């Protein structure tokens, strides 16, 4: 049987993408990364994809800042389907996905967020937790819906907040947890998948 295909979307440095690709290469994550797509031309995540021999695509998002223009999102769906992606993995992707992608990949889009959702959705979640005086925060893997970090929670990992933490030190510790949790959760989803592959 064909391997389970994932497509990774991101706009940043790509540390989660690297962790996922490493786990695939080492045989701990039973999937095949079929495409990495970014809406930022020079994003580190695209260079990481190339390093691992995964097709890396820059997709111009259009003129809007928070979402793709409709034509761009239709092109995004086309590329993901052409690459035979079974599961979309968001890794530092900053735009809100709308109808075409959500409908084409219902319950097949996941994200990792740097807080224990439903606490602290949105940007700089680690800084929000620190400012609120929390002693514990963490990261969450969740399905993606039309809201901002509102989809069904799949798994979480706690991270302690230490007395001398700064936003930078706390974010770094959360990212270590993300890089362990995210590939492991993807592997569990692959194992549990009732759909065999690319029959969208």
Q: Interface residues with ligand GRF (CB under 6 A)? A: 10, 12-17, 45, 91-92, 112-114, 175, 178
Minimum CB–partner distance for residue 6 and ligand GRF (Å): 14
Q: Supply the minimum distance, in Å, between the C-beta of residue 145 and ligand GRF.
A: 15
CB of 108 to ligand GRF, least distance (A): 18
Smaller CB separation from ligand GRF, 28 or 78 = 28
Instruction: Report the residue closest to ligand GRF, judged by CB.
Output: 92
Of 11 and 31, which CB lies nearer to ligand GRF in the complex structure?
Answer: 11
Please indicate whether residue 142 is annotated as part of the active site. Answer: no
- Catalytic pick from 28, 113, 171, 197? 113
Q: Could you count the other beta carbons within 10 Å of the beta carbon of residue 144? A: 24
Nearer to ligand GRF by Cβ, of 35 and 84: the residue is: 35
Exposed / middle / buried, residue 27 (Cβ in 10 Å: 0-12, 13-18, 19+): exposed
CB of 185 to ligand GRF, least distance (A): 13
Q: Which one, of 178, 115, 113, lies nearest residue 143 by Cα? A: 113
Judge contact between 182 and 112, C-beta under 8 A.
yes
Question: What is the distance between the alpha carbons of residues 159 and 23, in angstroms, rounded to a whole number?
Answer: 22
DSSP states of 154-195 as a string? EEEEEEEPPTT--HHHHHHHHHHHHHHHHHHHHHHHHHH-SS
**CB-nearer residue toward ligand GRF: 14 or 183:** 14
**Catalytic site residues?**
113
């Amino acid at each position: 049987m064909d391997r389970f295909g994932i497509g990774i979307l991101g706009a940043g440095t790509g540390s989660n993408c690297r962790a996922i690709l490493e786990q695939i290469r080492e045989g701990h994550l039973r999937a095949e990364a079929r495409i990495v797509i970014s809406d930022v031309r020079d994003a580190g995540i695209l260079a990481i994809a190339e390093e691992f021999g995964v097709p890396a695509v820059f997709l111009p998002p259009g003129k809007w800042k928070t979402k793709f223009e409709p034509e761009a999102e239709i092109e995004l769906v086309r590329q993901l389907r052409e690459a035979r992606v079974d599961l979309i993995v968001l890794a530092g992707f900053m735009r809100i996905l709308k109808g075409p992608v959500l409908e084409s990949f219902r319950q097949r889009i996941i994200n990792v967020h740097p807080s224990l959702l439903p606490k602290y959705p949105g940007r700089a979640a680690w800084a929000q937790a620190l400012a609120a005086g929390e002693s514990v925060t963490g990261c969450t893997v969740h399905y993606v819906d039309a809201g901002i970090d509102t989809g069904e929670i799949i798994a979480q990992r706690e991270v302690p907040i230490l007395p001398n933490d700064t936003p930078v030190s706390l974010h770094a510790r959360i990212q270590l947890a993300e890089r362990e949790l995210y590939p492991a959760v993807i592997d569990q989803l692959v194992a549990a998948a009732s759909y065999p592959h690319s029959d969208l």
